[in-house]
Structure 1
Amino acid sequence: MRPASLGASRRSPPRGRDQGRTERYRHSQSQGLPRCLRRCRSSPVAIVSNNCEACVRAYLDHTGLSSQIQHIEARDPAHVDRMKPSPYLLEQAAAVLRVDPRNTLLIGDQVSDVKAAIAAGAGSIGYANKPGKADDLEAAGADAVIEDMNVLAAAVAGHS
């Protein structure tokens, strides 16, 4: 899957010193996440994060998304070698959900996410949530790159 197949754009957020405009741009990009998760109801969804589980849970609780996530696989401070780009966290999440990692799709905003997906044999979508990330995610080998979660929600709707 090439970036264009998901309608990925290369438009950058508004430039300038107006931090408020940039924050509004970032907020509008991620508004499609709840819609995307609703469209994924027929498939198990896990969060695989290099952040701690408590932080991930706090975010999900704050945003009201907890009920749409079946599992959280987060870093273990005693085993930093298992953090992405290692495939370990993704493989553990897949095992808990009883799916083959090769039948999973990781959506991430870091090069380490793409590298972990490749190492696990999973598909990957790079989420370029900040200026300049799209090229890095594509260069890392992402199967597709998006800049707006609404694009992903629309693609999921078209395949469900």
Structure 2
Amino acid sequence: MQVDAAFCRIADLLGEDIQEVVTGLSSSYLRAGGEVSGATGRFGQADLRGGREIEQGIQSSSRDSSFGSPSLVAPTRLASPADIAALIGDRTLIFDFDGPVCSLFSEFTNVQVSDIMRRSIRWRFRFQRVSFPPKINREKDPFEVLRYVAKLGEDFGIAGEKKLSALEVVAARTAKPTPYAHELIRTASKSRDVVFASNNATAAVKTYLATHDLDRYASGVFGRSSHILSRLKPDRFLLEHTLSELGLSPDQVVYIGDSTTDVMAAHASGIRAIAYANKPGKLASFMPYEPEAVVDSMSVLLRAL
């Protein structure tokens, strides 16, 4: 697929600053080689609108907010289907999105998305002569760019979140499914609730699920909001909000994520964590954070059901 086709897919969502963003994407693609490869269900009101009020309630909680772990022994090996079956029992499964379910930016790299975000913010606030420090100019992680932008002020945070959400929605339409994830979601939903809680935009998760006819299996989708950009994972806010909306206790769910921040957020909320080691070396990187289990394929969970 040529670069021009990618431009067309993002143009309708990026709005008035498309010229500036396209310039950035073009230069980013040239540096990368000049080419890229080529409905709703039972969601309810499961986004994070009203996040300030919810956040205040959580902050006033007497619970210790340190990143701890449920009192279970951390694994030193990959879990077997029998291990996973014993761990999840009949608990609700809460999935992170990018990683356990799909590879969200399979057509755009994180570097390109970060570059687009910086150029978009510069253009949106061009009369304020916005500039980024060298570290943020080199930053490859879009979430780190977003966190920095949010610190510049509320208007900046809202604009940055809006642009990242637009890019995520576009990417969700062509995101590459994680092997066995779709079958796992369908199978798990026959015996328990399946929920999604992610630092990605709620709209992006819903778009992906609808595109693959998986929305019917979702009992809830909880995602990022411009109101709580300072409390993305590894903060416990998202998962505690998810539990509150579902009316469940931490012991009634298991969280499945592919990063150390997922494990940290789960344990900060008192939730058991299954870590998805989808890249070489991840088993070792997860060990200091003591997930209850580590798998290197969603097929292990599928066989456990």
Sort the TM-score into its range (normalised by shorter chain). Answer: 0.7 to 0.9
1:131 pairs with 2:205? no
Distance in structure 2 (CA, Å) of the matches to 1:106 and 1:118: 10
Distance in structure 2 (CA, Å) of the matches to 1:123 and 1:101: 8
- Which of 25, 31, 44 is 2:179 aligned to? 31
Distance in structure 2 (CA, Å) of the matches to 1:88 and 1:6: 31
The residue type paired with residue 85 of structure 1 is: P
Larger Cα-atom Rg: 2
Q: What's the CA shift for 1:78?
A: 2.2
TM-score scaled by length of structure 1:
0.76
Distance in structure 2 (CA, Å) of the matches to 1:91 and 1:44: 17
Question: What 5-or-longer segments of structure 2 have no aligned partner?
Answer: 1-72, 84-175
Over the matched positions of the two proteins, sequence identity in percent amounts to 31
- Which of 216, 226, 250 is 1:101 aligned to? 250
Contact 1:53 1:74 (C-alpha < 8 Å) held by counterparts: yes
Closer, same or farther: CA 78–134 of 1 in aligned 2, 3 Å = same
Contact 1:117 1:124 (C-alpha < 8 Å) held by counterparts: yes
The residue type paired with residue 71 of structure 1 is: G
* Residue of structure 2 equivalent to 1:54: 203
Moved more, 142-151 or 30-39: 30-39
| Aligned Cα root-mean-square deviation (Å) | 2.1
**SS of 2:300's equivalent?**
helix
- Which of 105, 109, 112 is 2:261 aligned to? 112
* Residue of structure 2 equivalent to 1:150: 299
The residue type paired with residue 248 of structure 2 is: V
Distance in structure 1 (CA, Å) of the matches to 2:79 and 2:276: 14
Q: Aligned pair count?
A: 137
- Which of 216, 219, 224 is 1:67 aligned to? 216
The residue type paired with residue 116 of structure 1 is: A
Provide, for residues 10-44 of structure 1, a one-character-per-residue CA deviation record: whole Å limited to 9, x for no partner.
xxxxxxxxxxxxxxxxx79x322122222322222
Closer, same or farther: CA 83–61 of 1 in aligned 2, 3 Å = same
Distance in structure 2 (CA, Å) of the matches to 1:141 and 1:5: 13
The residue type paired with residue 40 of structure 1 is: A
Moved more, 36-45 or 124-133: 36-45
Q: What's the CA shift for 1:80?
A: 1.4
Q: What's the CA shift for 1:154?
A: 0.6
Distance in structure 1 (CA, Å) of the matches to 2:280 and 2:204: 25
Q: What's the CA shift for 1:66?
A: 1.3
**SS of 1:86's equivalent?**
coil
Question: What 5-or-longer segments of structure 1 have no aligned partner?
Answer: 9-26
Q: What's the CA shift for 1:93?
A: 1.2
* Residue of structure 2 equivalent to 1:6: 80
TM-score scaled by length of structure 2:
0.42
The residue type paired with residue 117 of structure 1 is: A
- Which of 290, 293, 298 is 1:141 aligned to? 290
1:44 pairs with 2:173? no
Distance in structure 2 (CA, Å) of the matches to 1:51 and 1:74: 6
Distance in structure 2 (CA, Å) of the matches to 1:131 and 1:144: 16
Distance in structure 2 (CA, Å) of the matches to 1:126 and 1:152: 11
Q: What's the CA shift for 1:63?
A: 2.6
Distance in structure 2 (CA, Å) of the matches to 1:148 and 1:34: 13
Closer, same or farther: CA 131–77 of 1 in aligned 2, 3 Å = farther
Contact 1:90 1:101 (C-alpha < 8 Å) held by counterparts: no
